Amino acid sequence: KPKIIIDADTGIDDALAILYAVKSGKADIVGITSVFGNIPVELATENTLKVLKLAGLEGHIPVSQGAAQPLVRKVDVFPTFVHGSNGIGDVEIPNTAQRPVDEAAADFIIRNADELRGELVVVALGRLTNLAHALQKDPELPSKIKHVYIMGGAVRVPGNITPTAEANIWGDPEAADLVIKSGLSITLIGLDVTLQTMLHQSHLDGLKTSCKSENRDVVGFLNDSMQFYFNFYHEADGYNQCAPLHDPLTVLAAIEPGVVQTEVLKLSVETQGEVCLGMTVADLREKPSVGTPVNVGVQVDAERALELLLSAF
């Protein structure tokens, strides 16, 4: 089983990704680190803790709070229209007595990388600020981490927050640039594949009748929180009762080999431009020379992805 730290800005699809990861039984979740993004970091921490309690795991998985702001920029507005003002579709779930650990996310990542001796896998589902801080503190980190799966970027498709940029990269382009250039072994799961992987209301309806009885509350929460996400995608893109599985697909890529096909591409992150800020630019020329080689998700077996995801509940 891969030993995984999930780094999340726990919004609606992050919550599903976390619930899938802990319910799949196919990964050892070493801890979860939080980051600003969909919501302020304190709320991301709180949502993570509550989601773990809902999964019956209160006190079992350490949660470490991370960055409240990007590496060099400032943020004071959050996309409440995408994830709701509480980040989980304005659905209320019970509070938990578990508190975050007394160790910041960057230190938590560094310590676990050391202790797990080359076995640690990081799955990053938000801005890459925590990983960037960890790299700044420990330049040896790339040789200590087995692999990093990143939900981010749009390589051959348009962006989702600007014409060219995907939200997680755009939200801290300097951090993304640092991480991509760091020498970490990386797989980028971007909009190229996540937009092909759609969760429909019919999937949730099926799950309500087929899920294990112990997962009824979890599935109820997924159904309720997804309503907010479906509405956003309806208004933004005209989708009908469905939404792309950005973060869940990234966890799937980490624990289910073969679901996402990748290709090594030389990649750069635009940090200077106005129209192209946060764009993930692959050198697609015959003889690519610009950028850092990373594995990029280029194709997905979406049917298999959905089947695996749903069967965890």
| Catalytic residue list | 9, 246
Strand 260-269, strand 280-282: pairing: antiparallel
- In terms of Cα–Cα distance, which of 94, 166, 123, 95 is closest to 33? 123
Least distance between Ca ion and beta carbon 247 (Å):
5
Whether residue 30 contacts residue 269, with contact meaning beta carbons closer than 8 Å, is answered with no
Binding partner of residue 144 among Ca ion, ligand BDR, none, CB cut-off 5 to 8 Å per kind: none
List contacts with ligand BDR (CB under 6 A): 11, 13-14, 38, 82, 125-126, 151, 160, 166-168, 246-247
- Residue in 240, 247, 259 with CA at minimum distance from that of residue 297: 259
Which among ligand BDR, Ca ion, none contacts residue 182 (Cβ within 5 to 8 A by kind)? none
167 binds, among ligand BDR, Ca ion, none (CB under 5 to 8 A by kind): ligand BDR
Q: Closest separation between CB of residue 117 and Ca ion, Å?
A: 29
Cβ distance 11 to 41 under 8 Å? Answer: no
When CB distances are held under 5 to 8 angstroms depending on the partner's kind, the choice from Ca ion, ligand BDR, none that residue 66 binds is none
Q: What are phi and psi of 295, to 5 degrees?
A: -80, 130
Question: Which amino acid type is present at position 300?
Answer: V
Shortest Å distance, C-beta 245 to ligand BDR: 10
**Rule CB under 5 A: which residues touch Ca ion?**
9, 14, 125-126, 247
Structure token pair of residue 60: 């079992």
User: Is the CA virtual torsion 154, 174, 88, 218 positive or negative?
Assistant: positive
Residue 161 Rama label (left phi>0; alpha psi -120 to 50; beta): alpha
Residue 160 interacting partner from Ca ion, ligand BDR, none (CB closer than 5 to 8 Å by kind): ligand BDR
| Closer residue to ligand BDR, CB minimum distance, 188 or 211 | 188
Closest to Ca ion by CB, 66 vs 126, is: 126
Tell me the three state secondary structure of residue 124: strand
Nearer to Ca ion, 14 or 177 (CB): 14
Cα 112 to Cα 34, 136, 139, 144, 218: the distances in Å are 15, 16, 15, 9, 29
d(CA 12, CA 223): 11
**Toward ligand BDR, which CB reaches closer, 32 or 82?**
82
82 binds, among Ca ion, ligand BDR, none (CB under 5 to 8 A by kind): ligand BDR
Distance of closest approach, residue 170 Cβ to Ca ion, in angstroms = 13
Give min distance, CB of 37 to Ca ion, in A.
6
Q: How far is the CB of 143 from ligand BDR (least distance, A)?
A: 27
Sheet holding 120-124, edge to edge: 63-65, 28-34, 3-8, 120-124, 145-151, 186-189, 292-300, 260-269, 280-282
Nearer to Ca ion, 44 or 267 (CB): 44
Q: Name the residue nearer to ligand BDR (CB basis): 38 or 65.
A: 38
Ranges assigned E (strand) in the chain: 3-8, 28-34, 63-65, 120-124, 145-151, 186-189, 198-200, 242-244, 260-269, 280-282, 292-300
Q: Which two tokens stand for residue 58?
A: 């209160």
